[in-house]
Structure 1
Amino acid sequence: MKTADTQSITVETLVNAPVEKAWKYFSEPEHITKWAFASDDWHAPYADNDLRKDGKFKTTMAAKDGSFSFDFEGVYTNVVPKKTFEYAMADGRKVKVDFAADGSKTRVTETFDPESQNPIDMQRAGWQAILENYRRHVESN
């Protein structure tokens, strides 16, 4: 997949949880499978995550009706525990995720290189929807 010739996209959410919990729920496979999908007709039946520099991750995202699935995967290029991590997706696009304390809450910001097959607004909306699923999962557990 070719990357788009445009600026990166940023999405963020404010999670009602301390950084330690926000980091844990973003990085542990047993939590990733509970939130890594954009809509209720999808799910994440598999996740593996080795959150360290040069570590790999893979999350399977699938339609619940079995009609389509794909693996979201990549390699970490930088990890600063409970602060930030960066990775390169399998197609070469880059992503950075930041965790910042905001009082008793945590601001989670994702900045990613867009791909060229879907409109920017659609990509932003999809990543934001996944991030909101993450926020709801953290806050309900």
Structure 2
Amino acid sequence: MNKVDKTTLNGEIEINAPIEKVWALWTTPEDIKQWNTPNTDWHTTKVENDLRPGGAFLFAMALKDGSLNFDFTGVYDDVKTNELISYTLNDGRKSTITFTSGNPVILAESFEADNTQPIAMQKEFCQAVLDGFKKYVEG
């Protein structure tokens, strides 16, 4: 079997809100359904979130016109309230999200890219979701 080099992508936002609010809105299923989209063409139709090490998550995302949908699924590896979430997707890729307390709060995401999709598209998608989360929290 050939070893495939893994590309790591990063996204970051600064949020003007208390760390407790940022954490709560990032992790609560009802809120995730509101902000987890890269633009208004998408929506998150279902969220299951067992936020603990070994707990599973599922975010069902779809284009509103019905032309494309996918399930974003995995298992949490580490969860430290108001600090860190790391997980492994069902395809084996890893991701880490850090929450740095301060004014503003810094939320940074680092994830292994899907080698079957264009890198630029994945980075843009991730950053758009993060930017939408910032608007949701601050709005």
TM-score interval w.r.t. the shorter chain?
over 0.9
Structure 2 residue ranges without an equivalent (≥5): none
Structure 1 residue ranges without an equivalent (≥5): none
Superposed CA deviations along residues 101-128 of structure 1, whole A, max 9, x for unmatched, are 122x210000000111222222111100
Superposed CA deviations along residues 62-98 of structure 1, whole A, max 9, x for unmatched, are 1111122111010000111110010001110000000
Structure-2 residue corresponding to 1:8 = 8
Structure-1 residue corresponding to 2:45 = 45
SS at match of 1:54: coil
- Paired positions, count: 137
Give the partner amino acid of 1:107: I
What TM-score comes out, normalization by structure 2 length? 0.94
CA distance in 2, matches of 1:49, 1:73: 10
Indicate conservation of the 8 Å contact 1:4/1:114, yes or no.
no
- Segments of 4+ in structure 1 off by > 4 A? none
CA distance in 2, matches of 1:68, 1:122: 15
User: Identity percentage over the alignment?
Assistant: 37
SS at match of 2:54: coil
Structure-1 residue corresponding to 2:114 = 115
CA distance in 1, matches of 2:56, 2:49: 6
What's the Cα RMSD here? 1.4
User: 1:45 offset after TM fit, Å?
Assistant: 1.3
Give the partner amino acid of 1:118: Q
User: 1:6 offset after TM fit, Å?
Assistant: 3.6
SS at match of 2:101: strand
CA distance in 1, matches of 2:133, 2:56: 20
1:1-141 aligned at under 5 Å gives the runs 5-103=5-103, 105-140=104-139
Task: From the superposition, tell whether residues 109 and 4 of structure 1 become closer, same or farther in structure 2 (CA, over 3 Å).
Answer: farther
CA distance in 1, matches of 2:51, 2:120: 29
CA distance in 2, matches of 1:13, 1:121: 18
